[in-house]
Amino acid sequence: MKAYVIKIELIDSGPLIWRKVIMPAGDTFNRLHDVIQKVANF
């Protein structure tokens, strides 16, 4: 299965806050949006 490793950084945060997630290649942008919301605790 193909997948992408995505690094998400929150800008203007001190210290730098970042997360690395693995997303399957077949996922949608809506799913990516959900993942970003989840890992950023929004």
Q: Where are the domains of the chain?
A: 3-39
CA dihedral 37, 8, 3, 26 (to 10 degrees): 40
Tokens linked to 24: 């399957």
Per-residue HEC secondary structure of 1-42 comes to: CCEEEEEEEECCCCCCEEEEEEEECCCCHHHHHHHHHHHCCC
Tokens linked to 1: 């299965």
pLDDT digits (tens, 9 = 90+) for 6-40: 999 988 888 988 999 999 999 999 999 999 999 88
pLDDT for position 14: 86
Entry pTM: 0.73
| Reported confidence tier of residue 41, pLDDT bands at 50, 70, 90 | confident
